[in-house]
Amino acid sequence: MSNPTLRTRFAPSPTGYLHIGGARTALFNWLLARRLGGKFILRIEDTDQQRNIPEAEAKLMQDMRWLGIDWDEGPDVSGPHGPYRQSERLDAYRAAADKLIDAGLAYFAFDTAEELDALRKQAAAEKKAFKYARPNPLPSRADADRARAAGKPVVIRLAVPHVEMVVHDEILGDVTFAAGEVEDFVIFKSDGFPTYHFAVVLDDDHMQITHVLRAQEHLMNTPKHIFIQRALGFRTPQYAHLPLVFNMDGSKMSKRDKAKDIAAGRLPREIDVHDFRVSGYLPEAIVNFIALVGWSPGQDREKMTRDEMTQLFTLDRINKTSGRFDRDKLLAMNTDYIAAATPARLLSGFRDYAAATNSPLAALDDAKLAAALAACKGFRTFKDIDTKVGPLFAADESITFNPDAVAKTLAKNNGQGYATLEKLTPVLESVATWTAENLDAAIKNYCEQNAAKMGDVAQPLRVALTGNTISPSIGETLTLLGRDATLRRVRRCRETRS
């Protein structure tokens, strides 16, 4: 079952990083294309001059590549149906609009924003739905020129036929809109740019898109798009509207959440793909997780490689129900992926993470880093590595002692912890070969001779060496730190006793 003529696309507008919801839309389009041997196209929808952000396009592409979602045609790889940026296709949009005007299928309108606003308010006051009233006769080109000369805004509206419209949706089934539901909407803005509706339809036709998978919030736009297609004589692609994804509390996942979290003194939630990268997630875990929000291969399958998903993906297994983004489950999945990753993948994954952050471990060579990663068995994200072993590779002076940790492990019982450090120093100094095994053995031996529990020794040591109670197992910790630094830090810690 393959379909080489199948073409899907992802068409983000360049307003920032790739949103996690957008990533899912991109993934589903990609999955379908890969499943059926079709093509996946990336197109940049930059018709809103106000909102475009220069860096955004590059970021979007970087995030997609990071997730492993690659495209066959796009702004940077070109292809037979370009250009793949809407701002570079203005002539085509204008020509099409002209054609519609000439055919009487679209017409000029000169209303100001204020006038429209007033009409809408009035309709609302009368509890009626506002529908733009088509003038009769339609304004001529001369009228448009006069309006322009008079400084009025000139837009083009589609003359929408008064007929029922049935949208065939691959996920939702047939959705019917009564005649008159769709008003004469704007297809060309007064700034000379097409609206989204007009541009998508022209682009999808031009790029021979056969399947449009997009978020369900576009469902109400679909009749508009089909009306444009009919006016232009285009065929209609297959539509599939994906269920929405929300926060756990049911609210929209928005970049604003981050600002809200910061304002509330919380750690900002991850919203963009890039945020998850910075938080230390593995892209394959993210891809697996987002695929499962709104889609399921059945048979209780959850863990899947990209290839497995590609084999299993079908439109008829996409759900209609909207979902919530369960970060706990993502974290658990990431933990599993990390546990299952090869040392080499962990290494490359961490390098990737470090490139996007200011990880204190960025400067380590591969051998050191691999050792650090191995010492942290059971970690959940790459960020955990930073907190767990970061202090071991920082300068001695940068170690600050957590007061709670000091109180609990060192100062308690008249400074028992400090006393332990003192007694332990010669033990450590006498370890002939500084390996995790030897150090563990020496410390265990010390515990036995002094009737101490492992925690009584390990915890004071941890605090002395890192300022905190978190580090790999004590032998690993000492090995990663090295003999000299260990003895230095123990001394330094005892000297700081207040």
Nearer to RNA, 3 or 135 (CB): 135
One of 2, 136, 321, 413 touching RNA (CB under 7 A): 321
CB atoms within 10 A of CB 400: 11
- Angle, in degrees to the nearest 10, between helices 283-291 and 20-36: 80
Nearest approach, Cβ of 260 to RNA (angstroms)?
16
Interacting positions 329-368 with RNA (CB under 7 A) = 329, 331-332, 335-336, 339
CA 20, CA 273: separation in Å to the nearest integer?
5
Q: Assess 112 for contact with RNA (CB under 7 A).
A: yes
Out of 298, 484, 495, 498, the only residue in the binding site for RNA (CB under 7 A) is 298
Closer residue to RNA, CB minimum distance, 37 or 340: 340
DSSP-derived letter for residue 15 is S
Binding residue for RNA (CB under 7 A) from 296, 310, 402, 416? Answer: 296
Sign of the dihedral through C-alpha 7, 59, 271, 287: positive
Among 379, 382, 393, 401, indicate the residue that binds RNA (CB under 7 A): 379
DSSP-based three-state secondary structure for 402: coil
Q: Which two tokens stand for residue 448?
A: 């036995």
Alpha-carbon distance of 351 to 358, in angstroms, equals 11
Contacts with RNA in 49-88 (CB under 7 A)? 51
| Cα 374 from Cα 431, distance rounded (Å) | 23
Sign of CA pseudo-dihedral 10, 14, 15, 19: positive
Contacting range for RNA; rule: CB under 7 A; set: 89-97, 194-202, 268-276, 394-402: 194-202
Cα gap 290→270, rounded to integer Å: 14
Binding positions for RNA, 226-265, rule CB under 7 A: 243-244, 246, 248, 250, 252
**Nearest CB to RNA, comparing residues 73 and 184:** 184
Please say which residue, 2 or 413, places its beta carbon nearer to RNA. 413
Q: Which of 54, 378, 403, 426 binds RNA (CB under 7 A)?
A: 378
DSSP 316-366: GGB-SS-EE--HHHHHHHHHHHHHHS-HHHHHHHHHHHHHHS--TTTT--H
Judged by CB under 7 A, the chain residues 390 through 429 that form the site for RNA are none
Window contacting RNA (CB under 7 A); options: 124-132, 143-151, 228-236, 264-272 = 124-132
- The verdict on 197 binding RNA (CB under 7 A) reads yes
176 binds RNA (CB under 7 A): yes
Site string for RNA, 14-53 (x = CB under 7 A): -------------------------------x-xx--x--
Residue tagged active-site, from 255, 368, 383, 444: 255
**Contact stretch for RNA (CB under 7 A) within 6-14, 99-107, 363-371, 411-419:** 6-14
Tell whether residue 217 is a contact of RNA (CB under 7 A). yes
Nearest-approach distance from CB 244 to RNA, in angstroms? 5
User: How far apart are alpha carbons 161 and 103 in whole angstroms?
Assistant: 14
Interaction of residue 206 with RNA, rule CB under 7 A:
no
Q: Kindly state the smallest distance separating residue 302's Cβ from RNA, in Å.
A: 6
Q: Is the backbone peptide bond immediately before 139 cis, with ω within 30 degrees of 0?
A: no
Q: Catalytic residue at 255? A: yes
**Residue 107 binds to RNA (criterion: CB under 7 A):** no
Minimum Å gap between C-beta 222 and RNA is 9
Report 135-154 residues binding RNA (CB under 7 A).
153
Edge-to-edge strands of the sheet including 173-177? 173-177, 165-169, 238-242, 211-215
Biggest CA-to-CA distance, the chain: 103
For residue 21, give Cα distances in angstroms to 116, 214, 253.
Answer: 33, 10, 8
What does the DSSP assignment read for 159-198?
Answer: ---SS-EEEEETTTEEEEE-TT-S---EEE-TTS-B-HHH
Catalytic residue numbers, as ranges? 255
